[in-house]
Structure 1
Amino acid sequence: MKKLFAQILFFFSAFAFAQETGTIAGALSDKEMNNEPLPFANVTVKNTSKGTTSDFDGLYKIENIPTDIYTIVVSFIGYETVEIPNVKVEANKVTEINTGLGASAAALDEVMITTVSRRDSEVALLLDQKDAVDIKESIGSQELTKLGVSDAATATTKISGVSSSEASGDVFVRGLGDRYLYTTLNGMPIPSDDIERKNIDLSLFPTRIVQSVSISKTYSSANSADQSSGSIDISSRSLVGLQEFGFGTQVGLNTNANAEGIGSNFKRTANESDLSLGFYSKDISTKDAITDQTWNAQSTNMPINYQYSLTAGKKIGEKFKVFFTGSQSSKFEYSEGIFRQFERNRRNVEFTDASLYNNTINTTGLLDLKYRFNKKNEIKALSLFVNKVKDEVYEVGRNREGFVFEEVNNEDQYSQFVRDQNTKQTRLWVNQLLGDHEIGEKNHLTWGLGYNKLNADEPNRIRNEVNIKKPTNTEGELVELGFQGGFQQRKTSQILEDLEYNARLKDEFTVFENDSTSTLKLSLGGNYRNKTRDFTSEFFGVTENGAGVTPPSIDNLDAVFTAENFNNDLLDLRLVRTDDDGNIRPDKYDAELNSSAGFLNVNYSFSKFNLNIGARYQKDMIDLNYDVANAPGGEDGSVEKSYDNFYPALNIKYALNEKHNFRLAASKTITLPEFKEIAPFEYVSATGQITRGNVGLEASNVYNLDLKWEFFPTNKELISATAFYKSIKDPINRVLDRGSAGVFSFFNSGEEATIYGIELDANIGLIASDEENGINIDWGINFSRMWHNQDLKTEFNEDGTLARTFKYNKKNEIGLQGASDYIVNSSLNFSTNWEREFNANISGNYASDKIFALGSAPDSQTQENSVLYNNEIIEEGFVTLNATLSQELSERLLLRFKAQNILNPDIKRTQDVLPLSGGAQSESNQTTRLYTRGAIFTLGINYNF
């Protein structure tokens, strides 16, 4: 069926006829009125019927111009007419022409002509936003470069209502995090690189491969209904112009990683020797690594960040374009601080020197091919490869103050030391074939086929937990292996493979179009997605047979993990489970998602109104089979979930005039549970906290309402205000599980959650100069205020007895996990019109406190008012500040300096804890996690041939 579908699309594209067109757009100013915007001026393409007039902002746009070279005529009554010759229109690009008119003719050197990809420039993106049917915001590569943004994840935080969590790495849109978002590349789904997440890590996409990043905050029936806060679409780069060749390099450092005593002894994992050119490979099994590979952490000095990149592209003949960009970056990070864990208001774990050493090497390659069969249709083939290796060493207790309840019974005599070494390698391969065709004058067909493969592995994770007996007057310090559980000394491997096939088809038909009255367009199509996952995890533990195996120090554990000690039965190899032959029986699960959908959309514009009504029928089926140790209810089992429904969407736009738009949007969507939220596998973090899926988790239904006002003061300025409301039925939350120390799971913990708020957005030009030596200053700010709440429910058995309650500490309701009450993003940009352009930018972000995880009720079903509860964990708000300076040294050479996370704020999580012995019974606020990430300074140079 898949092959037949592909053949049909290829056949269709080969015989379809489409017009290869581009766009001319720009801004006109009045030279007689201090270069104020010039409205109602005429702009025509000479010797054609194409033309338009400028709006109140002096802004104009002429679309669907066949590719060629033209003369553009600009005229206004009483002013000299300007003719601009040799204007080249390229397919799928915007040719920007900005000029002024006055009583005397403008000289051609006063006319600014640039050609950019359609979604690349700020003017083009603003025009798209102004004309769009749904509510969306975009940021293009031009602005990303000016802001010094290095990846797509950071790019999203420059959009109103968007924040990121340093604790979880999630991107939050309107307070809703990972599970409520949907991420696509060129409109096609891409897999997550992390078992813990639904969406891919956007930092894997460096801005050099990004043309633009768009966030649609309202639902369109042409997109998947599995979204609630919005969808993020990354448009990849293509060749701009006829050819391109350039390279860049940069070096930098992290102040924490290069601090005294850290930079000269930066910890690396025992896997370091298996890394080559940013790729990890190992030729021995995890079991053999017990004795054949070191357990000791390694080290390096001078942890300097670097990055280098190469970009090349060329148009071959009149039909074919090829573009490639590749890069590799390496960055070092170090954090040190506090980690505490409280279980039922009791201190369970405490370390005051929690240290994390991280080195991430990211290798990216993008190949983009475009081919035009006969100047009537275009097909694009894209292949994106990403290899990310993250080498992490987590250490706690080196200061001899570590406390773990189950291990350290006497703090005066013992402390605990924990080291977790982990190398994570993610290999992502995305392949897309895209077609875009105009069939006749009224039919527009787009389609896409995709194949994605993801390997996200932890091939050799090493963990040691040892007790340190403190020295006395009669004996020195003694290091002992931890003795609880049998798996505190272990090496593990985790292998995850996702395969995905996806397809989309959309046909838009113009029923009628009358420029002076109305237009009716119909679009219909469908989507298909098949995603499979195979997951395997193996544990190999080492335990003592009695006492007496004592390492000489915490930095020389190899001295005891020897083949001799195993042969002499001083040490034993421990397996979580074995098969009938005594071999390891790994934890594993396999899962499949089948999603198919069809949609119909009607767009009717009349007078100043645009009415868009759509409906989507989508059927989602999730099948999961698991064989996992310690799974609640039994080690093996299966889960089947099926959801099918109609998901309507309504978008209304009223254009009061050329400057003002009013928009109303309403829709119903769904939030599907993810594989990792269902599979009962327990993933242990470096800090020892466990995340486990819940087979009883169900989807959430979400109802959305938005109202927005847009004001375009000039061609590059925007002021907007949005009010929004969401109602989430059966919301999903991360909850600290009852009766399980340090175990987080996922539950439909309430009947309903509501979130509503306002967003204010402004991009304003403070100083704009057209003079040769002039300067430009513009300021952007967006502000969000949200109110959010959800009930906490109680579940009963069929006989009426209490089954489970999510209420704790007399709380019947709580805020939404991940939602900040306040989010503020702002940037100030300075640029010059000098012969060698200079740019400076400073940007900041603040997101207020948010709930990291909900609390939990007492263990016993009859102890609802007991003090043995857990309060919610809060991630406190903080401010980030970044700055970028760039200077053109020549026409082809650019120097750039970046300073990121300049303030280096504390990243802090807290929890209210009730003392259980002595004194007044009032809660105190305790820090559960505290660290800084360090400021990052980078100097780079780019050269374009």
Structure 2
Amino acid sequence: MNRPANRFLLKPISLAVAASIVLPTSMAFAQSNEEEVIEEVVATGTRLKGTATAVMEERKNQAFVADIMGAEQIARTGDSDAAGALRRVTGLTLVDGRFIYVRGLGERYSSTQLNGAIVPSPDPTRNVIPLDLFPSSIIESLAVQKSYSPSMPAAFGGGNVNIRLKSIPTQRVFNVSAAVGIDTENSGDVLDYAGGGRDWTGEDDGTRGVSAAIQERWDSKNFLDDLEPEEALELFKGVNREYGLERESADPDMRVNVTYGDSYDYDEDWRFGFLVTSRYSAQTRSSEEYELQDPDLVGDDIINVRFFDDIQGTEQTVTWSSLLTLGVDYNRQHRIDYSLIVLNDTRDEIREMFGNTENLNQAEGLRIRDIDVQYEERSLYTNQLKGQHTIPELNFMGIDWTYSLGRSVRYAPGNFNARFVMEDVNEDGIFDDENEIFLSDAQTAARYTFQNLHDRLENFGYNVTYPMTMGKWETEYKVGASFVTKTRTAENRRFDINTLGVEDRSILDGNDFSEIFSDSVLDTLSLSSRPIIRDTTIAGDDYVAGQKIDAYYLEADFFYDNKWRFTGGARYEDFRQVVAPLDPRTNQFDLSDEADRSQLAFQEDGFYPALAVTYFLEDDMQLRASIGQTVVRPDLREVSSATYLDPLTNFPIAGTPGVSTTDIINYDLRWEWYREAGNNVSVGLFYKDMEAPIESVQSPAQDGPPLIRIANAESGEVYGVEVEFLQDLAFIGDGIWDNLFTTGNITVSDSEIVLDRQNIVEQTGVSAAITNVERRMTGHSQYVLNMQLGYDSDNGEHSASLVYNVFGERILIPGIDGFDDNFEQPFHSLDMVYKYYPDFNSTVTLRVQNILGEDREIEFNDTLLRSETRGTGIRLSYKYDF
């Protein structure tokens, strides 16, 4: 398109001022008056610095310590979801690609809100929300409050993450973007299997679901127990058996996003607006892995007893999301917004795993081959209605309220695992996985698992603020309340394929489950006296839970002579929770002990105060300090002694009735300097004193992975220092230095918990052979570093960022039986994002992720426990603004 005749570039200081003025309303300007000298102002030269300046202004005005990341900053780093973006925030680390640890504290120590409201979680074992559910395309900003304030939920440990979604625009917005990408690990063919016909939509078409005959038996509480062999065979014929491996070339990653919104004025007082945005993405990731399951300690030597030393895996993900926002504004004093958020994330993973067990090993001329398929659909549906009202007649008193009704679902049909045995028949030292292989002759040659979870959460809250001025004192009083009602139902079913029920063992030869048990084979199958299907659903697989929180708070904010700010108050919470593990066969409690039953109902109430003081050293420099008392409560399943499998680790986990809450006293001190042109620097100190912190411990296992138990440590503490900065490089010299800036943060911290073996044994009722009774908290990294080097061209047509992130080693699995703790090793992430603006409507983006090709590794005692290769991803996208 034609360039404007008059084009002026803004220097950094001018841009900082302009951005702070215009960001809340509009980022584009056009002058149609012919008498104006400036036809158009183009402020694309230092995009990130402009938006970062506005974000820093919001952070500066917070009464409590907080960090905020805007949409443009997220776009600059190229992160595709909230989880990836949040790892750029000072002191935050990302675990398993979906959970955020704030200041080294695990996910249970952080809370998440959506537009200031609590929403349900689709995770079957945790209350927290997996943050990879939220695509960056619908996010306006991410706010992380690290020091507690009474307006926040009292369940506050590391911090509170508030995901603020896009709202109605001030002018028409219409854009479409599309992206394609590849990953270096996907070169060549990748593993695949015959799934459903609608997999590309992220929805199973029923292929993986259980057959109607088996579902009917489960619904009528007539489980697959003590079946006659012929009856079991008929049921098996209706089961999906198409789990044979295929090798296919991977499709390229793809992503499409559409956004449309506008606002309209009616008369002089009314304004109406809407925003609709939808995104679809699909990607494939292949990897090579190693997994040690059972080491043995012989003297000082570690012997690998059970392990998989050759794992090939492929994960396909399909995500789609939609956001609809409607808003009405009257006289700029009353505004009501409605938002509908629909999110879906589907993961389909298949792994081929070669390894040894204690009985099936190479020394015996044997080796195992496992096929593992994990499929899950996670969905979140949330309706939110919120209002903001200003009443000038009452000294501009403000009233705002929020009502949120949400539902989350996790649907995991037909997860499948099968074990094959390879025998070196010709003794050539080669295990032939085509000709010297057979399906395991065992009660559990294969296992089918079906899981369903429904979470429903209703949240209503309101706040009333009243400002007053008395001499040199400017004050604001704030009162509010929040009411949360949450219900959850979870259902788990499983059955095993018992090949001891087959009379002719020769049919088990082969490496393809679908061929071994094809329809033609099953029609002529000779049976033994044992049924080929056995139900292995156990008591405690089902549970129902409820939670109710009624909270009220009072907060006051005092400014004195523009030099001092005092903010404080208290929150009262009445917390009630009940968890009922059920026996699926009887739908009765899975606990016979009356004492255990009584502990499933959990109730507590209390006051949680906080105080923050800010001293304004200069107009652009301030020192803030705060103290707050908070609590962290056990999750829903952590107060039930029923055993369940964590879908993230496949480790069996058993909660502990009677686990007590963790009381925390939080201390924060931060110095902030907001300099010219948006440059800034801050240094913060924090300390947390914890009583009875909730932690994971292990009990030795007889066969398979160790049993994880939930217990209270005696005491704990977390402390550290955070440094953050933004600095342009123009001070170095003229030329290219005017176009460069750097921003980053570093957190150095430590933690310590003290455990008592005997107390844990008494609390959990099982052996607790803990190796280290004094150690860091699970998931805590002693350092986190983020660095970014940015470039913006003079003509505003090019921008680039080089982004680096690394975290220090962290304990993922505490050690037992003399073994040290298992540490996830540092992961050095280096990404590059380049943007080209060929005209005022178009944006071309190239992103290269994991340039260093780092692998994920977990180690203990200098021994590799797990590893997973990660490829370098390359993505090219195009966005057009109409």
TM over 0.5: yes
Q: 1:911 maps to what in 2? A: 860
Deviation at 1:462, TM superposition (A): 1.1
Q: Does 1:185 align with 2:134?
A: no
Q: 1:25 maps to what in 2? A: none
Q: Does 1:708 align with 2:670?
A: yes
Deviation at 1:691, TM superposition (A): 3.3
Q: Which amino acid is 1:929 matched to?
A: R
SS at match of 2:85: helix
SS at match of 1:145: helix
Task: Call closer, same or farther: CA 1:430–1:298 in 2, change over 3 Å.
Answer: farther
Q: Which amino acid is 2:396 matched to?
A: K
For 2:121 and 2:77, locate their aligned partners in 1 and report how far apart those are by CA, in whole Å.
27
Task: Call closer, same or farther: CA 1:394–1:196 in 2, change over 3 Å.
Answer: farther
Work out whether residues 727 and 755 of structure 1, in 8 Å CA contact, stay in contact via their aligned partners in 2: yes
Work out whether residues 269 and 421 of structure 1, in 8 Å CA contact, stay in contact via their aligned partners in 2: no
Task: Call closer, same or farther: CA 1:797–1:871 in 2, change over 3 Å.
Answer: closer
* Superposed counterparts of 1:183-582, under 5 Å: 183-258=112-187, 260=188, 264=189, 266-282=190-206, 285-286=210-211, 287=214, 291-293=238-240, 294-318=242-266, 319-342=271-294, 345=297, 347-373=304-330, 375-397=332-354, 402-405=355-358, 407-408=359-360, 411-440=363-392, 441-472=395-426, 477-483=435-441, 486-512=443-469, 517-544=472-499, 545=501, 548=505, 550-560=507-517, 562=519, 563-564=522-523, 568-569=527-528, 572-576=531-535
* Superposed counterparts of 1:851-930, under 5 Å: 851-856=811-816, 868-912=817-861, 925-930=862-867
Q: What is the aligned-residue identity percentage?
A: 21
After superposition, give the CA deviation of every residue in 1:253-295 in whole Å (9 maximum; x if it has no partner): 111022x3xxx3x223443435253322316524467644223
Deviation at 1:304, TM superposition (A): 1.0
Q: 2:228 maps to what in 1? A: none
Deviation at 1:154, TM superposition (A): 1.4
SS at match of 1:303: coil
Q: Which amino acid is 2:874 matched to?
A: F
Deviation at 1:206, TM superposition (A): 1.7
Work out whether residues 704 and 726 of structure 1, in 8 Å CA contact, stay in contact via their aligned partners in 2: yes
Work out whether residues 722 and 758 of structure 1, in 8 Å CA contact, stay in contact via their aligned partners in 2: yes
Q: Which amino acid is 2:418 matched to?
A: N
Q: Which amino acid is 2:405 matched to?
A: Y
Task: Call closer, same or farther: CA 1:290–1:535 in 2, change over 3 Å.
Answer: farther
Deviation at 1:780, TM superposition (A): 0.7
List runs of 5+ in structure 1 lacking aligned partners: 1-30, 39-53, 63-88, 98-105, 579-583, 857-867, 913-924
Deviation at 1:677, TM superposition (A): 2.9
After superposition, give the CA deviation of every residue in 1:600-645 in whole Å (9 maximum; x if it has no partner): 0011110211001110011211101112589997699741111211
Q: Which amino acid is 1:281 matched to?
A: D
Q: 2:620 maps to what in 1? A: 659
Q: 1:786 maps to what in 2? A: 749
Q: Whose helix fraction is larger, Structure 1's or Structure 2's?
A: 2
Deviation at 1:571, TM superposition (A): 6.9
For 1:827 and 1:498, locate their aligned partners in 2 and report how far apart those are by CA, in whole Å.
39
Work out whether residues 673 and 698 of structure 1, in 8 Å CA contact, stay in contact via their aligned partners in 2: yes
Work out whether residues 733 and 854 of structure 1, in 8 Å CA contact, stay in contact via their aligned partners in 2: no
Q: Which amino acid is 2:403 matched to?
A: L
SS at match of 1:239: coil
* Superposed counterparts of 1:544-693, under 5 Å: 544=499, 545=501, 548=505, 550-560=507-517, 562=519, 563-564=522-523, 568-569=527-528, 572-576=531-535, 587-607=541-561, 608-628=563-583, 638=597, 639-679=600-640, 680-683=642-645, 685=647, 689-693=651-655
Work out whether residues 290 and 491 of structure 1, in 8 Å CA contact, stay in contact via their aligned partners in 2: no
After superposition, give the CA deviation of every residue in 1:712-761 in whole Å (9 maximum; x if it has no partner): 12241210000110112111222222345413424234211111110111
Q: Which moved more, 1:712-721 or 1:266-275?
A: 266-275
Q: 1:142 maps to what in 2? A: 72
Q: Which moved more, 1:707-716 or 1:496-505?
A: 707-716
For 1:712 and 1:423, locate their aligned partners in 2 and report how far apart those are by CA, in whole Å.
48
Task: Call closer, same or farther: CA 1:289–1:433 in 2, change over 3 Å.
Answer: farther
Deviation at 1:362, TM superposition (A): 0.3
Deviation at 1:695, TM superposition (A): 3.2
SS at match of 1:871: coil
Q: Does 1:817 align with 2:778?
A: yes
For 1:801 and 1:761, locate their aligned partners in 2 and report how far apart those are by CA, in whole Å.
42
Task: Call closer, same or farther: CA 1:820–1:547 in 2, change over 3 Å.
Answer: farther
For 2:778 and 2:570, locate their aligned partners in 1 and report how far apart those are by CA, in whole Å.
30
Q: Which amino acid is 1:271 matched to?
A: G
After superposition, give the CA deviation of every residue in 1:683-704 in whole Å (9 maximum; x if it has no partner): 1658753334333433211111
Q: Which amino acid is 1:760 matched to?
A: V
For 1:445 and 1:808, locate their aligned partners in 2 and report how far apart those are by CA, in whole Å.
52
Q: Which amino acid is 1:165 matched to?
A: V
Q: Which amino acid is 1:938 matched to?
A: R
Q: 1:735 maps to what in 2? A: 697
For 1:245 and 1:698, locate their aligned partners in 2 and report how far apart those are by CA, in whole Å.
52
Work out whether residues 169 and 263 of structure 2, in 8 Å CA contact, stay in contact via their aligned partners in 1: no
Q: Which amino acid is 2:453 matched to?
A: L
Q: 1:15 maps to what in 2? A: none
Deviation at 1:367, TM superposition (A): 0.4
SS at match of 1:885: strand
After superposition, give the CA deviation of every residue in 1:851-894 in whole Å (9 maximum; x if it has no partner): 111123xxxxxxxxxxx444321111121000001101111111
Work out whether residues 161 and 784 of structure 1, in 8 Å CA contact, stay in contact via their aligned partners in 2: yes
Task: Call closer, same or farther: CA 1:702–1:344 in 2, change over 3 Å.
Answer: farther
Aligned alpha-carbon RMSD (Å): 3.5
Q: 1:161 maps to what in 2? A: 91
After superposition, give the CA deviation of every residue in 1:166-197 in whole Å (9 maximum; x if it has no partner): 4x743211111211111111101122222243
Normalising by structure 2, report the TM-score: 0.86
Task: Call closer, same or farther: CA 1:423–1:324 in 2, change over 3 Å.
Answer: same
For 1:158 and 1:182, locate their aligned partners in 2 and report how far apart those are by CA, in whole Å.
18
For 1:773 and 1:878, locate their aligned partners in 2 and report how far apart those are by CA, in whole Å.
31
For 1:635 and 1:833, locate their aligned partners in 2 and report how far apart those are by CA, in whole Å.
74
Q: 2:6 maps to what in 1? A: none
For 1:530 and 1:585, locate their aligned partners in 2 and report how far apart those are by CA, in whole Å.
27
Q: 1:845 maps to what in 2? A: 805
Q: 2:875 maps to what in 1? A: 938
Work out whether residues 330 and 360 of structure 1, in 8 Å CA contact, stay in contact via their aligned partners in 2: yes
Work out whether residues 612 and 651 of structure 1, in 8 Å CA contact, stay in contact via their aligned partners in 2: yes
Normalising by structure 1, report the TM-score: 0.80
Work out whether residues 120 and 211 of structure 1, in 8 Å CA contact, stay in contact via their aligned partners in 2: no
Q: Which has the higher contact order (CA 8 A, sep 6+)?
A: 2
SS at match of 1:285: coil
Q: Which moved more, 1:728-737 or 1:846-855?
A: 728-737
SS at match of 1:187: coil
Work out whether residues 682 and 692 of structure 1, in 8 Å CA contact, stay in contact via their aligned partners in 2: yes
For 1:723 and 1:801, locate their aligned partners in 2 and report how far apart those are by CA, in whole Å.
35
For 1:627 and 1:560, locate their aligned partners in 2 and report how far apart those are by CA, in whole Å.
34
For 1:453 and 1:434, locate their aligned partners in 2 and report how far apart those are by CA, in whole Å.
18
Task: Call closer, same or farther: CA 1:463–1:60 in 2, change over 3 Å.
Answer: closer
Deviation at 1:658, TM superposition (A): 1.0
Q: Which amino acid is 2:866 matched to?
A: R
Deviation at 1:832, TM superposition (A): 1.7
Task: Call closer, same or farther: CA 1:684–1:183 in 2, change over 3 Å.
Answer: closer
